[in-house]
Amino acid sequence: MTKVKGDTDTATQILDVAERLAQVRGFNGFSYADIAAELHLTKAALHYHFAGKAELGEALMTRYATRFSDALAAVESRVDDAAGRLDAYADLYLGVLRKERMCLCGMLAAEYETIPVPMRDTVLRFFEANEEWLTRVLEQGRAEGQLQFAGPPADTARMIVSSLEGALLVARPFGDITRFQMAATQVLAGLRAASTGVV
């Protein structure tokens, strides 16, 4: 069995492997045996850190949502204008695709009916948090005259999340990053069209 530095390091390694497998195969597409084999651990060692797959999934989702929230905070700290923040948001999805993975929550949304209930709640909270962040960015952009769109900002925020998740999903089997980039560019350009004169 491979030696690891400590309980915290082992738990992190387990989560890292589980996250990659979930983003590539889906949550139902891997087992504890897959993780144990990759890390050269016993299944008992996995159960020591995460009692069951449901507990592993909750920890996985919590960590992913926290990292994504931190990434959004970083966008806000380095980008002042709303249009730039939307571009940076789309780049977060692009970064996932470059690793030949899917957004973890997008993947779990596809498996929604078959994942544990606590995980379902976390998936919903993830999307709601993204929509709330985008709503604030859209409100800022409209107030500053950078962005124009019909209806409430929250509706446009939902459209952005849905469009980017869908573009990621469709681009993946083609192995074509530009397919995602073109879709994302079109979605975001549409929000700037009226204010920039772009048709």
Confirm whether 32 is domain-assigned: no
**The two structure tokens encoding residue 31:** 């087992």
Domain at 80, CATH number? 1.10.357.10
Distance CA 112, CA 115 (A): 6
Confirm whether 188 is domain-assigned: yes
Distances (CA, A) of 25 to 39, 118, 199: 18, 20, 39
82-92 residue pLDDT tens: 999 999 999 99
Confirm whether 162 is domain-assigned: yes
Confirm whether 164 is domain-assigned: yes
Residue carrying the six token digits 């498996």:
111
Confirm whether 9 is domain-assigned: no
Are the beta carbons of 98 and 177 closer than 8 angstroms? yes
Confirm whether 90 is domain-assigned: yes
pLDDT in tens, the chain (199 residues): 343 445 669 999 999 999 999 999 999 999 999 999 999 999 999 999 999 999 999 999 999 999 999 999 999 999 999 999 999 999 999 999 999 999 999 999 999 999 999 899 999 999 999 999 999 999 999 999 999 999 999 999 999 999 999 999 999 999 899 999 999 999 999 998 554 444 3
3-42 residue pLDDT tens: 344 566 999 999 999 999 999 999 999 999 999 999 999 9
Distance CA 160, CA 171 (A): 16
Task: Tell me the residue range of the domain where 114 lies.
Answer: 53-196
Q: How many domains does the chain have?
A: 1
Confirm whether 148 is domain-assigned: yes
Confirm whether 83 is domain-assigned: yes
Interior CA angle at 184 toward 181 and 186, to 5°?
A: 110
